[in-house]
A and B are shown apart, each in its own frame.
Chain A
């Protein structure tokens, strides 16, 4: 469905020293630097897959997504999406893709969301019957019936995101690019949205590519992940393997009732951060249950917090291996 080979994208940015004098200097004499946002990336994705792009800010996730959707021309390399070259932006291609960006909106700000849906219907030439049916399904899936007739600017962030999704999916795109769709949403809304993405994928056998820097999004949705940092693909494969290989440890943070000596704690596992009242350990996934119960019974624990390794650490692991 999607094949990209040796894609690179270079941006030209000019740099200047701060201050007014340097502003004037920069008017006449600029130093340009080439920033390689994406370097020699290759992968292919099959129909119906949900693939997660993960990586820290500035890793090149969004740039890759924009090249896949046809907004940006790659500096070199070839892209093929469903037989089309995205940057030609031919009508057939544009009708089968959709791009949703968590931080930008396409809803008409002063009108009810349903007006944007109608506009989309006209732009994408969806028939009346098809539009009604799609709208019905999407509204039910997202539980959005109450607020699609309200002015967009009066909607909450979560409601707005739901409407953005309806607008983006009303014409049944076969390929959906989601750029940080859950950003800024609370935990409940994030869960809802993830469930919806799963359902949409199942119902229409749509190919979905999602970027996120929340591990939760990826864990719940994607069997396959592509880890990108500084424009380079560090890992491409099953999420389970990624977690097994690179995030084999979980962290447990204990808050103590009274101060503890470091020496008394070291026997439980490797210490990530030590503080007499609050210490974080790194414990192998398989050991966690046993170690945690041991800690709870032997130590004066006030509070306990078990967490996945932060995604930044997983990525650091991925790239430190290389």
Chain B
């Protein structure tokens, strides 16, 4: 009994250590870069900190709490055929399989995320606006929906490919592009990160609205893109599930 609880506690501290280490590493990088330059795409050091704070809340808290582990385990479940029973339940199988389990420990990442936002704005000339904050939150939620939809689409490929353990990892690597100011992307990258792999909506545009004021076209755009991706993911999921071949018993 004692040993198992110690083991859990040990893993808890490890997780906490990894969270803090990860954020410290990102901050060190930003700190070093801003030793050489004064702004990136029009964003200064403290604005960057707010952006990184928002991104941390997205990638560590939201994704960790609901999506990452469910989606990472999905290919394994498909391969072993253990989702047979889930598919036969009279409930939304997509929701249960992609967001059914929550991982509470991810919640701790909110603290450093909030700290970064607070530290950033307290060093900026910033006036708080309720309207801007709500608009920023809406875009942020749309960003979450978009990335969730993309991860679902990619993970559901496992229904066809059977062995696809690495796929969700690909999405995690790609959405790292979301932790930079949206203004740095121009031309083709801008198009890609707005419509094809819309990472600008997870942190960049919400931070922009939060710090620099309401931008209605961007809010509307995020809603349209989010709805399109969500419907796309539902459609792809249905297509992919028809290819499910189960595992022999």
Question: What is A's interface to B at a CB cutoff of 8 Å?
Answer: 11, 62, 66, 69-73, 87, 89, 91, 94-95, 97, 99, 101-104, 106, 123-125, 179-180
Residues of the A chain whose Cβ atoms lie less than 8 Å from the Cβ of B244: 71-72
**In whole angstroms, what is the CA distance A266 to B132 when docked?**
99
Q: Does B122 lie at the interface of the complex (its beta carbon under 8 Å from any beta carbon of A)?
A: no
Interface centre among A11, A66, A70, A103 (most CB of B within 10 A): A66
A contact residues around B85 at 8 Å (CB): 99, 104, 106
Contact B245 A104 (CB under 8 A): no
26 pairs, A vs B, C-beta closer than 8 Å: A62-B248, A62-B249, A66-B84, A66-B246, A70-B87, A70-B88, A71-B87, A71-B88, A72-B244, A72-B245, A72-B246, A73-B242, A73-B243, A87-B242, A89-B87, A89-B88, A89-B93, A94-B88, A94-B89, A95-B90, A99-B84, A102-B249, A104-B84, A106-B85, A123-B90, A124-B90
Q: Does B104 contact A (CB under 8 A)?
A: no
Assess whether B112 is interfacial by the CB under 8 Å rule. Answer: no
Question: Which A residues touch B89, using CB under 8 A?
Answer: 94, 123-124
How many angstroms between the C-alpha atoms of A125 and B82 in the bound complex?
Answer: 23
Bin the interface of chain B by size: 10 to 19
- Cα A62 to Cα B246 in complex, Å, equals 11
- Docked Cα-Cα span, A124 to B88, in Å, equals 11
Distance between Cα atoms of A70 and B89 in the complex (Å): 11
State whether B90 touches A91 (Cβ < 8 A): yes
- Bound Cα distance A180, B85 (Å): 16
Q: How far is it, in angstroms, between the C-alpha of A179 and the C-alpha of B90 when the chains are bound? A: 20
Query: Are B90 and A71 touching (Cβ within 8 A)?
Result: no
Interface string of B218-249 (1 = CB under 8 A from A): 00000000000000000000000011111011
Query: Roughly how many angstroms separate A123 CA and B88 CA in the complex, as a whole number?
Result: 11
Query: Which of B81, B87, B90, B244 counts the most A-chain CB atoms under 10 A from its CB?
Result: B90
Find out whether the CB atom of A97 lies under 8 angstroms from the CB atom of B88: yes
Considering the chains assembled together, what is the distance between the CA atoms of A11 and B245 in angstroms? Answer: 8
